[in-house]
Chain A
Amino acid sequence: MSEKEVKNLEEIFEARIARDEKIEPKDWMPEKYRKTHIRQISQHAHSEIVGMLPEGNWITRAPSLRRKAALLAKVQDEAGHGLYLYSACETLGISRDELYEQLHSGKAKYSSIFNYPTITWADMGAIGWLVDGAAIINQVPLCNTSFGPYARAMVRVCKEESFHQRQGFEIMLTLCRGSEEQKAMAQDALNRWWWPSLMMLGPTDAESIHTEQSMKWKLKRKSNDELRQQFIDQTVPQADLLGLTIPDPDLKFNEETGSYDFGEIDWDEFWQVVKGHGPCNKERMDARVNAWNNGEWVRDAAMAHAEKNEKRKVAKAS
């Protein structure tokens, strides 16, 4: 194809998206669109999968059968989210194995929030409330993104997320209505998860490199800072309801803007964690890689079994 022809196709393509048409996997698309989508969708899928680890830590120690069933169902949902997203990503012509390889080698990133430890039961409450809460804010606009398989996966994901946030908030509420120690535990969890949750919505707009193109392709509909403000504005009243204090002395309602002003985010910490130096980066990656490697013989055995069965069926038929 000549350069002019490509240019022409690109213009038609961009116009389709501007008209709110969806792009499907076999449609022609610019190479950059394909690559950007593979990166974003796979990063999203990896986050769902790695995100199971901090919560999986508490399944065996949940304080009641009710909590255990709920946590187990939530973690299972996250596995499902990962699978929807990996499938969507594979339609762009990359294999599941390549995607895993990129995660395991560190070439692909996942959300930095999952590199923090879950040290008390209250962390299950804080994660559901704050981390799933921030994820919902990120994900809802993606239900209308331009790439059909991604949009469809997000619709299913968003339907399932609201239970995650509610079960987390309920855990916090129960602790806050409990003993002094239980309430202190809830406050401690909020203290540790608040700032990482704000960071989870991404670098400030000034530092964010991909935004303009991503807006055009509807991979992003609001900027990181807008999403962060939305998250803070909706979460502060919820913390008040719990009777907990947000660990930010500069947090203050601004009558003029109708939003909360907030303190400086420690971006050094964010970049440290992104670069692999968070408290649990190594532990998370080891758990992932070990699960994959130790499961290899099972995957191979299942395949061998399937092939043997197939041969037997063919032999019988002939």
Chain B
Amino acid sequence: MKKNWPLWEIFVRSKNGLEHRHFGSLHAADAEMAMENARDVYTRRNEGVSIWVVESKNITASNPADNGEMFEPAQDKVYRHPTFYDLPDEVKHM
């Protein structure tokens, strides 16, 4: 038999109050093993208080080739930023 262990993406919350952040990936036969391995590989020095494991194939990623149509339209929408609006200096707390 020859079937490779699938790849898992590991997300770690470093402390309560912070979001889970992508830490890296690893191979494991199932979610339980991915969790155990993630603990050993990514949290040997108190780096986390919570771990998410997601099989890599379940992630849909945007394609950098589409970055133009995906992200460029936001560039000319300066009116979404507070600095776009001209107010007299006398206006305080705004």
**Which residues of A line the B interface, CB within 8 A?**
24, 26-28, 73, 76-77, 80, 83-84, 87, 90, 95-97, 152-153, 156, 160, 299-300, 302-306, 309-310
Q: Which residues of B contact A299 (CB under 8 A)?
A: 5, 29
Complex Cα gap A302–B27 (Å): 12
Q: Is the CB of B7 within 8 A of A90?
A: yes
Q: Is the CB of B41 within 8 A of A83?
A: yes
B87: Cβ under 8 A from any A Cβ: no
Q: Is the CB of A26 within 8 A of B5?
A: no
Q: Is the CB of A26 within 8 A of B63?
A: yes
Per the 8 Å Cβ criterion, residues 26-53 of B in contact with A are 26-27, 29-30, 33, 40-41, 44-45
Q: Which residues of A contact B61 (CB under 8 A)?
A: 26
Q: Is the CB of A80 within 8 A of B41?
A: yes
Q: Which residues of B contact A80 (CB under 8 A)?
A: 40-41, 44
The contact of A302 among B2, B5, B40, B63, by CB within 8 Å, is B5
- Name 14 interchain pairs, CB-CB below 8 A, sorted by A: A26-B64, A28-B64, A76-B40, A76-B44, A80-B40, A80-B44, A83-B41, A90-B25, A153-B24, A300-B3, A302-B5, A302-B33, A303-B1, A304-B1
Q: Is the CB of B41 within 8 A of A309?
A: no
How many chain B residues touch A (CB < 8 A): the figure is 21
Complex Cα gap A189–B45 (Å): 31
Q: How distant is B45 from chain A, measured CB to nearest CB, in Å?
A: 8
The contact of A96 among B1, B3, B27, by CB within 8 Å, is B27
The contact of B29 among A77, A87, A153, A303, by CB within 8 Å, is A303
Per the 8 Å Cβ criterion, residues 1-34 of B in contact with A are 1-5, 7, 24-27, 29-30, 33
